[in-house]
Structure 1
Amino acid sequence: MKNSQGDTLRVHLDKYRDIVGLRSTRCQRKYNQDRYKVLVLDAPQPETNPANIATTDTTSSSNSTRAISQMDADLKTLFYFAIFDGHGGSNTADYLTANLDEYIETAKPEMVPKVIEDLRKLGGYFRNFRPHFLEPFLPADFEKRGLKDAADRARQQRRVHIPGKGGQIKPMIFIPHPNATEEEQEQELESLENRATAAGTKVGSATPAPTEVLLSEEQRKQKERAATNKSRVEVPREGEEEDEYDEDDDPFVIARRRNLNRTSPLPGGSTAYFGTYRSEYASPSLRAEDMVEKERRKQQAAAAAVAPMPATMTLEQRLCLSFLQCDAELVRDKYRDGSTASVVIVQSKGAFWETEDDLDLILAHVGDTRILLCEAPRGESIQLTTDHHPDAVVEADRIRRMAAYVTADSFGENMFLGQLANTRALGDIAMKPFGVSAEPELVRRTVKASEAAFLVLISDGISSVMSNQEVVDCVKLENNPTQAAANVLNLAEQLGAEDNCTVMVVKLPAWGSKMPDLSKELREYRWQSEAQQSRARRR
């Protein structure tokens, strides 16, 4: 890279303590599952040569302008800063630290259909998954291809007969779990075969006819009278009204609903249900939504058939694809733990900490780690990301469609499905069908060099005990980013932080500007209060 004087520099960012400050600790946890990474991305080479683009008409001229603009953006230096907070283990966080930046560099348009198809195999929330940022790269026949795959999976379903209560043989449909391997499916079918064999019935054979029972003369006459009465057509008399049929009172319908409700799919296992009437009781509102969605996709397919597929990808599209590609790989390799991810790419001509040009901040975010921007000279904290918690308005509306539930733990924190504090994460494959998505929140923000003081990336161990403004004000007190990160971490520990804590401070051009300390009195009060409580506990 080059500095403002035009000199070529080679900088190891995560070891250059005057530019990037890093501090991380396990705090009161047994292990530290937070991870971070800092590097310079290889700018993708543009595939189109603007000198070879004809400009004979308006359309080609606009395409040429877009191509040149994209090339100019790609020629800028891309500085990559990322923070990951693992939960349930550190395997997913380690995977993201090692591979996410490489996926961003190697992202290509032709990868999109395969990644979306892999995620759709999860079913549930991902059954009709179609991310907005990757729409231009899906072929016109993508939905038809998905229907064909669904038909192939339906043919793989096997009808079996197993004994129910009282030895009665009932037909069942065995549907393999999407994450189950062929070996696991065969083991499940083998257990069903053993049950059927014990009852004297082979899997896949027809239901045996009931044994003929000898009836007495009186029983035979009663059976004939019942058949005769059933064949008669009763005509209502004058003044009498025929009883209106009520489906809720029909014992046959009640029995079918009881069987339907008794067998609901659970994560991690196979799904089997009695009967063939599962679709009869689908919610009318859901069917209406499906019709609207089907019509929308038909219109999109018609538009895609006319518009050619783009040959290049924007940085936002690369980030979206890389997040989903990592998630698909984690699902394929069956990573049971999960991780949040907050990535910010600083796009700059030359050194970002001393440039006089505007800076482009491109963010991709999943979970509750945060990215903060300090704006000079006012010194205010600007949160660039949104915490993906169950009580967030957008997330609550999204997961409500899957009939998922949210409960509060003993500390009053809302938990998705009673297990996760985040509704978006990478990994966590058991929760994927219920709405835990890795589709990132994407933000692009252009800031003036004179107004950008610094960036702070923090994990939820910090944000759980400190406000955004307190974090930013702690950084202002130091001239060195590394010492500033240490200040934030020390105050968080003094205020009783328990979770893993990680702080990354990134110096921007307006670093060192004179700014007011907006939370000084609050920090002093909290520090004195915590010190008094600590002395009281020691007594």
Structure 2
Amino acid sequence: MIGSPAQRLSVQVRTLADSYLSRALSRRASSLAHAVPDDLRPVKRREFHDYFVTHLPSSSLHPDARGPLAPFHKLPRSESVPHTGQISHSPTSFQPLVDRDTTVVRIPLRSAKHHFGAHSSRGTRSYNEDTYQAGVIDLPAFAKRPPASLTIRRRAGEPEPRESRGRDTASGDPQVFYFGIFDGHGGSECSTFLKDWLHEYIQDTAAAFELRSSLQRDHGGQFPCGADPASGALPIVQGGNAKRIAELEKILVKNWRTLVGGYFKRFVPAHFSHIGKSVLPEGQGQGEGECESKGVTIEEILEYAFLRTDLEFVSAQAARRDDEYMKVGELVHQDDILYGTSHPRSLNLGGASRFKGGSTASVALISTPTPMPFWHPNAPSSLLVSHVGDTRILLCSTETGLAIPITSNHHPSSPIEGSRLRRYAATFVTDSFGEERMSGLANTRAFGDVQSKRIGVSAEPEIHRIEMAPAEYSFLVLMTDGVSGTLLDQEVVDIVKEARTPDQGARDVVSFATEVTREGDNTTCLVVRLGGWERRQEGGLGSLGTKESREWRRQEATDPRRSRR
């Protein structure tokens, strides 16, 4: 026991107060057990596709059984032609080489070091709470339709270009790539949960909303709402079941108000466009508002998926027993008899006690309008970023070489976050490092953090959509605050510019951040190659803009006299 009897009494009173909140959350979580739509609970885990599928021209390594009997590499020199991608007048004996099918190849992203790189270090911490995910997600395309000049059909009998191209999915759309980085605090339970399940909720939400592709025509021969090539307006409204969407959104908001209350009593998500709108049955025209009421945007899909994922995690933790209040006088509460010490959930998060920590998240989705992969110099693509917390995403401009931040830190010092939470958070304090905190938390938006949900800590994502022209950007960087809190954005970009591959760039960023840091936080960096990768040194000063300052920081970090300062 500690201190005087008055101090011991204060500890017991504070612990009992927490127990009342814990039991209230447990009762609400139990009452919401059957309120969650079953079609949004992943019952059977699907294997995540951490690889992409591409077409490669057949070669001697991947021979085509329908080709000529003689090997191609033994053709006479006079009958061979350069591999230029398009062969206009090839010899008759060489014609089977042009017409034969390409080979479908699976390439794991972790092995595609020239396209993607990831590296992580725990620093001086006892364990690493950072996680990440990369692969292909089962989602309809959300890219803008390309100009007609890029989609015009070739003349009959004209061979296709001999270039590598992505494989279409089962729905006929090009693959949608998914990159996510998660920074846990208080433990790795929440960040691991997001790594394993967040993409599942995005896929299930798109299926429940009946999201249709922005590239394909509907049964009437028309494009989905807003996806007409002549329309350049954003966001793009895609086809969906408006009546079903309105029902699911109302249930989600109601569950948040019932389970948590507080901040969520007047909570209306920014991208929920179907709440409060009357949806007419199909077949009844609505004039100019018909397109808006029947469609759904990919931003609405992501916001719903983020909030649904957080609700599942919070309700699962609230239904667990908190061991702290059980130790106060070994009291037996009536709730333990009524509801039991555990609550059956569809998600097994591990552990019998409540996890009070949380995690930040930054997710990047890339969709292309054609089968050409997004890293091709001639390929346009659509980038969608959904962000919660202080993980960070950067783009490198090919023309200027400058770092372009896409996300902002959700901290109490942010004017937007401060004004959003002033009426709920009564305790904004400044710690010894000069950082403003709210109830001990540095992030005002995060997954988990059960005890801080009532005062406004939520997983409402900050969503940005960027239409990337061919080779407009060189690469994409996703990083945790262990990197962004130590290095400047331009320093991170310049380090990647000097690397030969994205994999080497991710390693160099983590190594440099670990070397010069004074805090020793977990550091994780993901680098994704884009169309302008080969020209990454051409814009501005290349990597020379911060080279001198980086060398000075490295010398200062390795100075043996540094420890005496």
Q: Is the 8 A contact 2:141 2:367 kept in 1?
A: no
Distance change (3 Å), C-alpha of 1:77 and 1:473: same
Q: Structure 1: which amino acid aligns with 2:394? A: L
Q: What's the secondary structure of 1:135's corresponding residue?
A: coil
Q: What's the secondary structure of 1:333's corresponding residue?
A: helix
Q: What's the secondary structure of 1:127's corresponding residue?
A: helix
Provide Cα deviations, 1:426-453, integer angstroms capped at 9, x if missing partner.
1111101101011100100112222210
Residue 437 (structure 1) aligns with: 458
Q: CA deviation at 1:2?
A: 4.5
Distance change (3 Å), C-alpha of 1:520 and 1:381: same
Q: Which structure: greater helix fraction?
A: 1
Bigger radius of gyration among the two: 1
Match of 2:412 among 377, 390, 397: 390
Match of 1:89 among 187, 203, 206: 187
Q: CA deviation at 1:307?
A: 6.5
Q: Is the 8 A contact 2:374 2:531 kept in 1?
A: yes
The 5 A counterparts of 1:371-520 are: 371-417=393-439, 419-496=440-517, 497-513=519-535, 514-515=537-538, 516-517=542-543, 518-520=545-547
Distance change (3 Å), C-alpha of 1:313 and 1:76: farther
Provide Cα deviations, 1:373-403, integer angstroms capped at 9, x if missing partner.
0011321000000100100111011011224
Which 4+ runs in 1 deviate beyond 6 A? 306-309
The 5 A counterparts of 1:99-498 are: 99-107=197-205, 108=209, 109=245, 110-121=247-258, 122-137=260-275, 310-334=293-317, 335-348=355-368, 349=370, 350-354=372-376, 356-417=378-439, 419-496=440-517, 497-498=519-520
Provide Cα deviations, 1:461-500, integer angstroms capped at 9, x if missing partner.
0111100000000000011111111111111111125111
Q: Is the 8 A contact 1:37 1:83 kept in 2?
A: yes
Q: Is the 8 A contact 1:112 1:134 kept in 2?
A: yes
Q: Is the 8 A contact 1:14 1:39 kept in 2?
A: no
Q: Which ranges in structure 2 are unaligned for 5 or more consecutive residues?
A: 1-52, 57-84, 86-100, 143-168, 210-244, 280-285, 318-354
Residue 525 (structure 1) aligns with: 552
Q: CA deviation at 1:511?
A: 0.5
Distance change (3 Å), C-alpha of 1:311 and 1:98: farther
Q: Structure 2: which amino acid aligns with 1:474? A: I
- Asked if 1:25 is matched to 2:99, the reply is no
Q: Structure 2: which amino acid aligns with 1:340? A: T
**TM-score for the superposition, normalised by structure 2:** 0.58
The CA RMSD over aligned residues, in Å, is 2.7
Match of 2:110 among 3, 14, 29: 14
| Alpha-carbon distance in structure 1 between the residues aligned to 2:201 and 2:129 | 22
Q: CA deviation at 1:328?
A: 0.6
Q: CA deviation at 1:3?
A: 5.6
Q: What's the secondary structure of 2:433's corresponding residue?
A: coil
Q: CA deviation at 1:512?
A: 2.3
| Alpha-carbon distance in structure 1 between the residues aligned to 2:172 and 2:261 | 37
Higher RCO, 1 vs 2 (CA within 8 Å, ≥6 residues apart): 1
Distance change (3 Å), C-alpha of 1:351 and 1:307: closer
Q: Is the 8 A contact 1:341 1:366 kept in 2?
A: yes
| Alpha-carbon distance in structure 2 between the residues aligned to 1:387 and 1:331 | 22
Q: Structure 2: which amino acid aligns with 1:325? A: R
Distance change (3 Å), C-alpha of 1:340 and 1:44: same
| Alpha-carbon distance in structure 1 between the residues aligned to 2:291 and 2:115 | 43
| Alpha-carbon distance in structure 2 between the residues aligned to 1:469 and 1:316 | 28
| Alpha-carbon distance in structure 1 between the residues aligned to 2:443 and 2:483 | 16
Residue 181 (structure 1) aligns with: none
Q: CA deviation at 1:522?
A: 1.0
Q: Is the 8 A contact 1:137 1:309 kept in 2?
A: no
Q: CA deviation at 1:312?
A: 4.7
Q: CA deviation at 1:45?
A: 8.8
Provide Cα deviations, 1:235-264, integer angstroms capped at 9, x if missing partner.
xxxxxxxxxxxxxxxxxxxxxxxxxxxxxx
| Alpha-carbon distance in structure 2 between the residues aligned to 1:373 and 1:3 | 28
Distance change (3 Å), C-alpha of 1:133 and 1:441: same
Q: Is the 8 A contact 1:23 1:502 kept in 2?
A: yes
Provide Cα deviations, 1:272-313, integer angstroms capped at 9, x if missing partner.
xxxxxxxxxxxxxxxxxxxxxxxxxxxxxxx9xx97984553
Q: Structure 2: which amino acid aligns with 1:524? A: E
Q: What's the secondary structure of 1:75's corresponding residue?
A: coil
Distance change (3 Å), C-alpha of 1:16 and 1:408: same
Q: Is the 8 A contact 2:183 2:480 kept in 1?
A: yes
Q: Is the 8 A contact 2:425 2:456 kept in 1?
A: no
Q: What's the secondary structure of 2:441's corresponding residue?
A: coil
* Overall identity of the aligned pairs, in %: 38
Q: How many equivalent pairs are there?
A: 350
Distance change (3 Å), C-alpha of 1:309 and 1:469: closer
| Alpha-carbon distance in structure 2 between the residues aligned to 1:460 and 1:100 | 20
Residue 215 (structure 1) aligns with: none
Provide Cα deviations, 1:188-232, integer angstroms capped at 9, x if missing partner.
xxxxxxxxxxxxxxxxxxxxxxxxxxxxxxxxxxxxxxxxxxxxx
Q: CA deviation at 1:9?
A: 4.0
